[in-house]
Amino acid sequence: MAQNPGDLRQLHGRGMNPISDAYTLPADFPEFDRLNLQHQIWKTVQRGLCPIPKSDLDVLLAPKANGAPSAILDLGCGSGIWCTDMAKIFPHANVVGFDLARSSPSDTPENCFFLQGNILDGLKDFYGQFDLVHSRTMVVHLKPNQRKWAINEIIKCVRPGGIVILADWDEPILSEHGQILPAAREDSEPGTPQSWLIRILNEVWHRSDPVLSVVRLAIRDALAENARVDQETITSALHNIPIGWDDGSIENGALLGQMMRMDLMEFVRAFKPVLQSRGVGEQVIDSWIEHADLEFSGADQRVITRLHSTWARILE
């Protein structure tokens, strides 16, 4: 994946997007590699690029009666890998990726295009232009009071009869028995069920504990309250994924466990520059990361994270 380093803001050794410092993850080569790994996790749990069967996508994305191509929009496209994969599978459709950082994959098909911008500036230029609008692990990075507005903007981009897909990471971390884990504390007794990942995210995103904001519920509520959405078509899928261990009760449990472990190890390290910029000492951050790495190993306790997708059709 090609990315011009000159477009990035430098922060403690990592390249950040040049548009908004509200987004706390980098937008450089290492982060794009992590996002490409995350893409493989999503493909594995969804058995494809979307939670919707390909046969349904074939109908949705067929060329128009007048010969015009169908159109796909990916908001928060990151490295652009979902866009390029979709463009290869649907060569008769135009695919547009939109992100804070400039995406320019080296293998971009001719029917795939990338634009740079901020969803919080509004999406008026995209209103009513797309048959399929997709957004993955983007809404979770918005503040809770921004999410409904942003989802309504996303829905405005979908043509009548089109489909919107909002896929994201669920915010709580669970024990293997389904218990929501609180943020870890340095003074906790040994063996106390807790999550260092949640501790790090609470520090980065200024969240309180326990984590009460569950993005999948915010997504579903926003769709349910939007008059353009066909309420009978709202559908959700929730995937439990082990971190660093093999949950034999799910398909590909061992593979998913190891991929998620690798993803999250890089994820927590990617937050180091923003924590340093806020005055958190490097030794403190490294200690948190060391604890998180142990959590991701599944050695002391087995923990679960969740991915979810919610999709719906827009009324004709």
Q: What is the pLDDT of residues 13-30, one digit of tens each?
A: 999 999 998 899 999 999
Q: Is 84 in contact with 90 (CB distance < 8 Å)?
A: no
- Give residue 213's pLDDT: 66
Higher pLDDT, 72 or 3: 72
pLDDT in tens, 40-91: 999 999 999 999 999 999 999 999 888 889 999 999 999 999 999 999 999 9
Give phi and psi for 283, each to the nearest 5. -65, -40
Q: Could you give the number of structural domains in the chain? A: 1
What is the pTM for the complete model shown?
Answer: 0.95
Tokens of 142: 């918005």
* Cα(304)–Cα(311) distance, integer angstroms: 23
Task: Tell whether 2 is covered by a domain.
Answer: no
Write the burial class of residue 92 (CB in 10 Å: 0-12 exposed, 13-18 middle, 19+ buried).
Answer: exposed
Task: Tell whether 4 is covered by a domain.
Answer: no
pLDDT in tens, 223-269: 999 999 999 999 999 999 999 999 999 999 999 999 999 999 999 99
CATH number of the domain at 239, please.
Answer: 3.40.50.150
- Cα–Cα distances (Å) from 193 to 130, 144, 204, 250, in that order, read 45, 27, 21, 23
Higher pLDDT, 172 or 210: 172
User: If you average pLDDT over every residue of the chain, what do you get?
Assistant: 94
Q: Is 1 in contact with 36 (CB distance < 8 Å)?
A: yes
* Confidence tier at 4 by pLDDT (50, 70, 90): very low
Task: Tell whether 170 is covered by a domain.
Answer: yes
CA 206 to chain CA centroid, nearest Å: 19
Q: Is 216 in contact with 305 (CB distance < 8 Å)?
A: no
Mean local confidence (pLDDT), 197-213: 88
Residue numbers of the domain that contains 268: 9-314
Task: Tell whether 1 is covered by a domain.
Answer: no
Task: Tell whether 3 is covered by a domain.
Answer: no
Task: Tell whether 171 is covered by a domain.
Answer: yes
Task: Tell whether 178 is covered by a domain.
Answer: yes
